[in-house]
C-alpha cells in the first residue's frame, strides 16, 4: 500500500528493479551454462582426437613387412632427453655393433639391445641408445626411431638415420634375412617420408675413422641401391652440402686442433663400432 503517489512510484520502481535483476541473473546463468556445455564438447572432441589421431603419422605405428620390436617390446629404458631430427634425412649410415656379437633369436637380441643401451647411457653418457634402429636375429628393433636425432656418427647425426646390424661383420655377413630387413626398413622410411627418396647410403667409416661396419658388411652395402662413395672419409665432411654451418664451424676448429697435436693420438682414436 502506498500512502502517496511518489511512494507508489518508488514501490513500482523497486518491483521493476527486482524483476530486472532476477532477469539478469537468469540470463547470466543461461550464458554460463552454455559456455560450460561448449567447453565440455570441445574437451571431449579434443581428447578424442588426441587419443585417436585420424591422420597424424607420428602416432601411427607403421606396419612393416618384417618383425619389428618397439622400445616397449625390448624393455628399453626411457631416454634422458630427445632432440627432434629434421626429416626427411638425406643420408642413411650403416653400422655394426662389433660388441655385442651377433644375436640369433629374440631373447639374445633383446639382451644385446639392452647391453648396447646401458653402455651408451652409462659409459658413453649419451641420452639413449645411439642408433635409430638395430637389426638382429631376423628382426628389427626400434632405437631412437625415425623422429629423434641419433648418436651414431659424430658430426653426421643431424643429416642421417643410423642402422646397426648387431654383430662383428669384419669377416662374415649377417643373415640374408637381416640384410633384406635393413633394406626394407630404409624403403619403409622413404615411404613414410622420414628418408629422402634420393637418399645416399654410406658406411660409418666414410664419416669417421673407424672400422665400422666391418670389411665384409662394408663390401656388401656397396652393392645396394643408393650406395654413395661420397663422403669417402671424414676429411670430406666439410664438402657435405647438407651439413649445417654450425657443424662445419666445429669441424674447422677441430681440424686446426688436430694439426697442432701429434697424430699418434689421432691413430689411437680409431674405433671399431
Ligand X SMILES: *[C@@H]1O[C@H](CO)[C@@H](O)[C@H](O)[C@H]1NC(C)=O
Q: Which is nearer to ligand X, 103 or 159 (CB)?
A: 103
Site map for ligand X, 168-207, x if CB under 6 A? Answer: ----------------x--x--------------------
Q: Does 104 bind ligand X (CB under 6 A)?
A: yes
Contacting residue, 89, 102, 185, 186, with ligand X by CB under 6 A: 102
Residue 226 binding: pick among Zn ion, ligand X, none (C-beta 5-8 Å cut-off by kind)? none
Q: Which is nearer to ligand X, 106 or 108 (CB)?
A: 108
Q: How many residues bind ligand X (CB under 6 A)?
A: 8
Contacting residue, 69, 74, 94, 95, with Zn ion by CB under 5 A: 95
Contacting residue, 99, 108, 115, 175, with ligand X by CB under 6 A: 108
CB of 101 vs ligand X, minimal distance in Å = 6
CB of 272 vs Zn ion, minimal distance in Å = 8
Mapped to the 3 state alphabet, what secondary structure does the chain carry? CCCCHHHHHHHHHHHHHHHHHHHHHHHHHHHHHHHHHHHHHHHHHHHHHHHCCCCCHHHCCCCCCCCEECCCCCCCCCCCCCCECCCCEEEEEEEECCCCCCCCCHHHHHHHHHHHHHHHHHHCCCCCCCCCEEEECCEEEECCCCCECCCCCCCCHHHEEEEEECCCCCCCCCCHHHHHHHHHHHHHHHHCCCEEEEEEEEEHHHCCCECCCCHHHHHHHCCCCCECCCCCCHHHHHHCCCCCHHHHHHHHHHHHHHHHCCHHHHHHCCECC
Contacting residue, 71, 204, 226, 234, with Zn ion by CB under 5 A: 204
Instruction: Report the interface residues with ligand X, using CB under 6 A.
Output: 65, 101-104, 108, 184, 187
Amino acid at each position: 500500500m502506498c500512502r502517496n503517489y511518489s511512494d507508489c512510484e518508488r514501490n513500482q520502481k523497486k518491483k521493476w528493479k527486482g524483476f530486472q535483476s532476477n532477469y539478469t541473473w537468469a540470463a547470466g546463468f543461461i550464458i554460463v551454462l552454455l559456455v560450460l556445455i561448449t567447453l565440455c564438447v570441445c574437451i571431449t572432441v579434443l581428447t578424442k582426437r588426441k587419443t585417436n589421431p585420424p591422420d597424424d603419422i607420428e602416432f601411427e605405428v607403421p606396419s612393416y613387412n618384417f618383425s619389428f620390436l618397439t622400445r616397449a617390446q625390448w624393455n628399453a629404458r626411457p631416454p634422458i632427453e630427445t632432440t627432434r631430427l629434421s626429416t626427411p634425412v638425406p643420408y642413411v649410415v650403416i653400422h655394426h655393433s662389433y660388441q655385442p656379437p651377433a644375436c640369433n633369436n629374440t631373447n639374445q637380441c633383446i639382451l644385446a639391445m639392452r647391453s648396447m643401451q646401458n653402455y651408451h647411457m652409462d659409459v658413453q653418457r649419451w641420452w639413449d641408445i645411439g642408433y635409430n634402429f638395430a637389426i638382429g636375429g631376423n628382426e628389427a628393433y626400434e632405437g631412437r626411431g625415425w623422429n629423434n636425432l641419433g648418436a651414431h656418427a659424430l658430426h653426421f647425426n643431424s643429416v642421417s638415420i643410423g642402422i646397426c646390424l648387431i654383430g662383428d661383420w669384419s669377416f662374415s655377413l649377417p643373415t640374408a634375412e637381416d640384410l633384406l630387413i635393413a633394406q626394407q626398413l630404409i624403403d619403409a622410411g622413404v615411404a613414410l617420408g622420414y628418408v629422402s627418396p634420393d637418399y645416399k647410403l654410406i658406411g660409418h667409416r666414410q664419416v669417421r675413422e673407424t672400422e665400422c661396419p666391418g670389411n665384409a658388411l662394408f663390401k656388401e652395402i656397396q652393392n645396394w641401391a643408393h650406395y654413395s662413395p661420397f663422403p669417402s672419409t671424414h676429411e670430406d665432411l666439410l664438402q657435405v652440402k647438407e651439413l649445417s654451418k654450425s657443424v662445419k664451424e666445429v669441424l674447422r676448429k677441430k681440424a686446426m686442433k688436430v694439426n697442432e697435436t701429434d697424430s699418434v693420438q689421432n691413430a689411437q682414436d680409431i674405433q671399431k663400432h
